[in-house]
Chains A and B, each alone.
Chain A
Amino acid sequence: MSYLELAGLQKRYGGSVAVDDVSLSVEKGESVALLGPSGCGKTTTLRMLAGLIQPDRGTIRVDDVEITRLAAHKRNMGYVFQSYALFPHLTVSRNVAFGLEERGIGKAEIARQVEEGLALVRLDGLGGRRPRELSGGQQQRVALARALVIHPSVLLLDESLSNLDAKLRDTMRHEIRSIQRSLGITTLFVTHDQVEALTMCDRIAVMNRGRIAQIGTAEDIYERPATRFVAEFVGRANALPATRDTEGKVVLWGAAHPVAAPPQGAFDLFVRPQRMRIVSASEPTGGETVRVTGRVLRSVFVGDHVEVLVEGAGGQLAVEMPSGTTAPTEGAEVAVIWQAKDSLPFACEAA
């Protein structure tokens, strides 16, 4: 049994289902991201965990104790809200002390732990301020410190970085990650930002329409997406409409490829743009390589890579080339190659 066990959680609002069926096991000290599009039920899942709403079905267990119906204030979960939810009428110190005071800890001990908590998020010396006298990033860190000082059994972070600018967000990601690691806090991290999920977590649970579509390491999810949704949602991918020939091999852009097609139904071939390479049209290719030919529509320099759009017999595809390599000129006839194992066939969704 894992440290945190969610089994068959469901939450309905009237006729609509916010969370359909979520089961998840998290080990002690592990950090798991809940990644998914807006409205897929991430916040609802977290709120059920924190006891702020009651699930209609399913159970929650922490450390082998069922807490499904336990009142929120008895759960000892550290919840960092998306909006920070700092108490405007209390100073930063009192905000951080709030949970400790509720636990009946002595004054001196509280003062010491608050100091420690603020130092942890590098806010020493700002304890006397009011929340609104802080920047967004500082408020964020106060919220984090407030949740951390109570030594939560599980830390719940709800898109807690989405209000910050790109640079601060990056810094905060690393800060939270290192705090989480050094304190060994079991963490659930809600986000719809993939980079955040990839950099902050040991495992990622990709959610879609109230269910977990796939759970695994970043590599699992990225390299071996279980469903079409995961392949589309995580990372970029070319979805290339393909057909099958009599031998059951994939036919793409009019040429047969050494990739097995799914047995029936219309399907697309998913290929990551970074896995594709552009070579001159005349260059021959080996057996396990997929090769299509086309004409360069345009090349766009995007900073860390160059994006090349190629048009061929069956449509368009995008190739990401590392910047520094010379991009082919527009209108050039080229071949695009990738390894057969990088092709992922997924059935088209029923219309």
Chain B
Amino acid sequence: MTGSRRLPLLLLPAGIFVLAVYVWPTLLLLRNAFNEVGPTGAMVEAWSLKTATETFADGFTIELTLNSLQLSLSATAIALALSYPLSLFLFRTDSRFRGLLAVIAILPMLISGVVRVFGWLAILGDRGLVNTLLQSLGLISAPIKLVFNWTGVTIGLAESIMPYMILALLAGFGQLDRTLEEASRSLGASPLRTFWRVTLPLSLPAIVLAAGLGFVLSMSAYITPKLLGGGRVFVLATEIFEQATTNTNWPVAAVLAIYTLGLLLLLLVVSNLLARGLKR
């Protein structure tokens, strides 16, 4: 009784915080989206859809959207392919070091995005670890371009979302029970068949959850595409920043921001529905 009556009170600080730093700015953003830009480039207060229609009529917006989607898709796919086996191992190991291993796996989360990018530059740059190694082995004569292009951004993004996906996978593996895999083997299914028939289907909700999260994080990532893209990779997030700062074109930035937000919400809803449907 008292618990449920006190609950709203407990939510108050968080509620105020969210209201102040999230809801209010979002409303401002929404307001800005209806403003117009005058011929001088200055913002003109208005209630019109002119900025929105112009932005969506622009082919560049479509291109940005496709870029964002494609980049997020490949980053998520790579991150999933790496973090799924890793999480499965972490989930099941009896090792004493399990806790430590899990912490190590999600450690990159604690490192600033900028620092991480410089790490990647040191590894993937023209004189970085990979190219030096390949050249000294005589496998290549000239360095291959691994940064300041799509490849670099994809690698960097995949790495940055992995810790989150590992956490989501570990949390989602609830239904996975080793006894079920033992039952499968005792019924004559080889380890591979057991994975295919029991492990994979039962971890599908976790996969959908993690993939949804990774995708959303990739879509909204700014630092990695900006810095590892070297000005050659254009996605929604970089464009919004560009419009808001370099161009000081607030209305367009606002329209693009709200458009991106809508896309993300849609994705979250779809992945949630999918995950819930799978659990049933």
- Which residue numbers of A lie inside 8 Å of B, CB to CB? 50-52, 71-79, 81, 83, 85-89, 98-99, 102-103, 146-147, 150
Residues of B within 8 A of A50 (CB): 182, 186
Cα distance, A76 to B177, chains bound together (Å)? 22
B182 and A150 form a contact (CB under 8 A): no
Residues of A within 8 A of B183 (CB): 79, 81, 85-87
In this complex, the member of A77, A102, A146 whose beta carbon has the largest number of chain B beta carbons within 10 angstroms is A102
Give the contacts of B156-204 with A (CB-CB under 8 A): 175, 177, 179-180, 182-191, 193-194, 197-198, 201-202
> Given A88-B175, A89-B201, is A81 in contact with B188 using a C-beta cutoff of 8 Å?
no
> Given A88-B202, A89-B202, A102-B193, is A72 in contact with B186 using a C-beta cutoff of 8 Å?
yes
Residues of B within 8 A of A87 (CB): 180, 183-184, 198
Cα distance, A146 to B184, chains bound together (Å)? 11
Of the candidates B175, B180, B189, which one forms a contact with A73 in the assembled complex, judged by CB atoms under 8 Å apart? B189
Nearest chain B CB to A133 CB, angstrom units: 12
Residues of A within 8 A of B177 (CB): 85
Cα distance, A51 to B191, chains bound together (Å)? 13
- The B contact surface, by secondary structure, is helix
Top 9 closest pairs, chain A to chain B, by CB = A99-B187, A102-B188, A85-B183, A79-B186, A72-B185, A85-B179, A73-B185, A102-B189, A89-B201
Chain B residues within 8 Å of chain A by Cβ, number: 20
Nearest chain A CB to B206 CB, angstrom units: 13
Cα distance, A323 to B207, chains bound together (Å)? 63
Given contacts A73-B186, A81-B179, 10 further A-B contacts (CB under 8 A): A52-B182, A52-B186, A72-B185, A74-B188, A85-B177, A85-B180, A85-B183, A98-B187, A102-B188, A103-B188
Residues of B within 8 A of A71 (CB): 185, 190
Cα distance, A78 to B183, chains bound together (Å)? 9
A78 and B186 form a contact (CB under 8 A): yes
A77 and B179 form a contact (CB under 8 A): no
B180 and A77 form a contact (CB under 8 A): no
Cα distance, A207 to B185, chains bound together (Å)? 27
Nearest chain B CB to A86 CB, angstrom units: 8
Nearest chain B CB to A95 CB, angstrom units: 9
Nearest chain A CB to B191 CB, angstrom units: 8
B184 and A52 form a contact (CB under 8 A): no
Residues of B within 8 A of A83 (CB): 179
Cα distance, A229 to B250, chains bound together (Å)? 85
Cα distance, A83 to B181, chains bound together (Å)? 13
Residues of A within 8 A of B201 (CB): 89
In this complex, the member of B183, B193, B201 whose beta carbon has the largest number of chain A beta carbons within 10 angstroms is B183
Cα distance, A76 to B187, chains bound together (Å)? 7
B185 and A52 form a contact (CB under 8 A): yes
Residues of A within 8 A of B179 (CB): 81, 83, 85
Residues of A within 8 A of B190 (CB): 71, 73
Residues of B within 8 A of A85 (CB): 177, 179-180, 182-183
Nearest chain A CB to B173 CB, angstrom units: 13
Cα distance, A32 to B108, chains bound together (Å)? 55
Nearest chain A CB to B195 CB, angstrom units: 12
Nearest chain A CB to B276 CB, angstrom units: 14
Residues of B within 8 A of A146 (CB): 187
Cα distance, A99 to B187, chains bound together (Å)? 5
Nearest chain A CB to B186 CB, angstrom units: 4
Cα distance, A252 to B32, chains bound together (Å)? 101
Residue ID in chain B nearest A72 by CB atoms: B185
Residue ID in chain A nearest B180 by CB atoms: A85
Cα distance, A36 to B177, chains bound together (Å)? 27
Of the candidates B182, B187, B202, which one forms a contact with A102 in the assembled complex, judged by CB atoms under 8 Å apart? B187
Cα distance, A52 to B180, chains bound together (Å)? 12
Nearest chain A CB to B183 CB, angstrom units: 4
Cα distance, A102 to B202, chains bound together (Å)? 18
Residues of A within 8 A of B191 (CB): 73
Nearest chain A CB to B278 CB, angstrom units: 9
Give the contacts of B37-90 with A (CB-CB under 8 A): none
Residue ID in chain A nearest B280 by CB atoms: A130
Residue ID in chain B nearest A156 by CB atoms: B186
Residues of B within 8 A of A72 (CB): 182, 185-186
A81 and B175 form a contact (CB under 8 A): no
Residues of A within 8 A of B189 (CB): 73, 98, 102
Cα distance, A146 to B177, chains bound together (Å)? 18
Residues of A within 8 A of B186 (CB): 50-52, 72-73, 75, 77-79, 147
Cα distance, A150 to B186, chains bound together (Å)? 10
Residue ID in chain A nearest B192 by CB atoms: A73
Residue ID in chain A nearest B187 by CB atoms: A99
Residue ID in chain A nearest B186 by CB atoms: A79
In this complex, the member of B180, B188, B194 whose beta carbon has the largest number of chain A beta carbons within 10 angstroms is B188
- CB-defined A-B contacts under 8 Å, sample of 5: A73-B194, A88-B202, A98-B184, A98-B197, A102-B189
